[in-house]
Amino acid sequence: MAGFPRVARKRCAAGYIVARRMFGALAAIFLATCGVVHAAPSATRQSFDIQVPWVPQPAVLGDKTELVYELQLTNFSEDVLQLESIDALDVATGKALGHLDGNTLDAAVGQVQPTPAKRSVVPGGHATIYLSLPTPTGEVAIKHRIEYSVAGTMQRFTVEGGWFTPRQADPVALGPPLRGGPWVAIYDASWARGHRRVLYAVDGALHVPGRFAIDWIKVDANGAHASGDGSKPASWFGYGVDVLAVADATVVATRDDVAEPGVVAPGPSRVPIGDATGNYVALNIGGGRFVFFEHLKPGSVRVHPGQHVRRGDVIGKLGFTGQSTGPHLHMHVADANVPLAAEGLPYAMEGFRLEGKFPSIEAFGKGQAWTHDTASPRMPGMPGPLEVVTFTPEHRP
């Protein structure tokens, strides 16, 4: 501790007493050197640009109502910055609405560039933080406090940003996209390559079109999704069934020229990004919302742009086109009539009964049994991750 008299080099407590007597205001500075060095609140330094690219609205996911959104962080300093914790705060009260550190922060971080440590962001580097908060009561403004350290030092700093006020709109209510069941809702916010964590930088902006996407796959009572080894698309239980319009709507886009591979191979099929949707139908349901139905069977699309459809009308058949691991129906709602350059929006589904749930995606992949619960109606919302449902018949005049 060069620069201080010898008497000030004793233990912290004693040093503080002596330093207070000798140096007055220098005492606080001396004491700070006895542990991790924290920057003064007024310190100005280069660090993160913090953006919330999509302002969330409450989403009902299974038995939870949450705000689902992302923080986009870009490191504008010359140092490697290590994320230590993130708090989502009520601006008015300072109350923490959510806190991430340690393993929970590790699980929430997604990055574009590889780094030696998951929470390290190199100069000029980018990280996406995937957040899900319990929906607060009433109208609140939310900000974020990020604590970070400079790699190779014990210095810790904080920066605040990413302010927003959640939208108060209720998710649009939609009818069943399929009939009968059981159908399993394949999605989970924590999957590294799940819909929510696939970013598309197209048309000059970063988008998450599949933020609330669900892949629907039909299973049997024992958990199998195909007969035999499942190598042929037609052996999957849901292959070729009718896909239904989920609302009274106008057809705004279709595609029906993508061929189907004859064999279901391990891993997703690799196709150009422009063909990832496969054959699809997009419906304009009003209010700036568009529903996409993707991976449809070749030659099955029954509608055309400009056509008006009613909830429950058949619009195509479930297939295996585009980027897909097997026959299924991909469905999501977005804020624009483009498959990729749009933001995914929450929605509420009506007309289904909860039947049970798969314990994990691994259990589903191995065709293991799902847990059977007493069949029950569910309040309008999205089924929870890996929940198994039956769509109930709808009677329209």
**pLDDT higher than 50, residue 28:** no
Token pair in block for residue 183? 């159908």
**pLDDT higher than 70, residue 26:** no
How far apart are alpha carbons 48 and 120 in whole angstroms? 12
pLDDT category of residue 395 using cuts at 50, 70 and 90: low
How far apart are alpha carbons 264 and 93 in whole angstroms? 54
**pLDDT higher than 90, residue 379:** no
pLDDT score of 115: 62
**pLDDT higher than 60, residue 330:** yes
pLDDT category of residue 356 using cuts at 50, 70 and 90: very high
Spatial contact of 120 and 82, defined as CB atoms under 8 Å apart: yes
Q: What is the pTM for the complete model shown?
A: 0.84
Q: Where on the phi/psi map is residue 92: left (φ > 0), alpha (ψ -120 to 50), or beta? A: alpha
pLDDT category of residue 76 using cuts at 50, 70 and 90: very high
- Full set of structural domains in the chain with CATH: 1-35 (no CATH), 48-164 (2.60.40), 172-391 (2.70.70.10)
Say if residue 259 is exposed, middle or buried (CB neighbours under 10 Å; 0-12, 13-18, 19+).
exposed
Q: Which of 27-41, 82-96, 177-191, 244-258 has the lowest mean pLDDT?
A: 27-41
∠ CA 290-295-301, rounded to 5°: 75
More confident residue, 31 or 24: 24
pLDDT score of 397: 54
**pLDDT higher than 90, residue 305:** yes
**pLDDT higher than 90, residue 329:** yes
- Average pLDDT of the segment spanning 40-51: 78
Percent of the chain residues past pLDDT 90, beyond the cut: 57
pLDDT category of residue 148 using cuts at 50, 70 and 90: very high
pLDDT score of 63: 83
Spatial contact of 342 and 207, defined as CB atoms under 8 Å apart: yes
Percent of the chain residues past pLDDT 70, beyond the cut: 85
How far apart are alpha carbons 287 and 273 in whole angstroms? 28
pLDDT category of residue 166 using cuts at 50, 70 and 90: very high
- Average pLDDT of the segment spanning 352-363: 91
Rounded to the nearest integer, the mean pLDDT of the chain is: 85
pLDDT score of 6: 36
- Average pLDDT of the segment spanning 130-148: 91
How many other C-beta atoms lie within 10 A of the C-beta of residue 37? Answer: 14
Give the rounded distance of the alpha carbon of 38 from its chain centre: 33
∠ CA 228-293-181, rounded to 5°: 45
**pLDDT higher than 90, residue 13:** no
pLDDT score of 149: 94
**pLDDT higher than 90, residue 320:** yes
pLDDT category of residue 387 using cuts at 50, 70 and 90: very high
Q: State the residue for tokens 């309008």.
A: 380
How far apart are alpha carbons 107 and 124 in whole angstroms? 22
SS3 string, the chain, reads CCCCCHHHHCCHHHHHHHHHHHHCCHHHHHHHCCCCCECCCCCCCCCEEEECCCCCCCEEECCEEEEEEEEEEEECCCCCEEEEEEEEEECCCCCEEEEEEHHHHHHHEEECCCCCCCCEECCCCEEEEEEEEECCCCCCCEEEEEEEEECCCCCEEEEEEEEECCCCCCCEEECCCCCEEEEEEECCCCCCCCHHHCCEEECCEEECCCCCCEEEEECCCCCCCECCCCCCHHHECCCCCEEECCCCEEEEEEECCCCCCCCCCCCCCCCCHHHCCCEEEEEEEECCEEEEEEEECCCCCCCCCCCEECCCCEEEEEECCCCCCCCEEEEEEECCCCCCCCCEECEEECCEEEEEECCCHHHHHCCCCCEEEEEEECCCEECCCCEEEEECCCCCC
| Phi, psi angles (nearest 5°) of residue 157 | -135, 165
Beta bridge partners of 279: 296
pLDDT score of 235: 95
Pairing of the two strands 279-286 and 214-218:
unpaired
Handedness of CA 341, 347, 350, 356 (dihedral sign): positive
pLDDT category of residue 20 using cuts at 50, 70 and 90: very low
pLDDT score of 357: 93
pLDDT category of residue 297 using cuts at 50, 70 and 90: very high
Pairing of the two strands 347-349 and 172-174:
parallel
**pLDDT higher than 50, residue 181:** yes
Q: How many residues does the chain have?
A: 397
pLDDT tens per residue across span 80-125: 999 999 999 999 999 999 999 999 999 899 876 666 677 899 999 9
pLDDT score of 33: 36
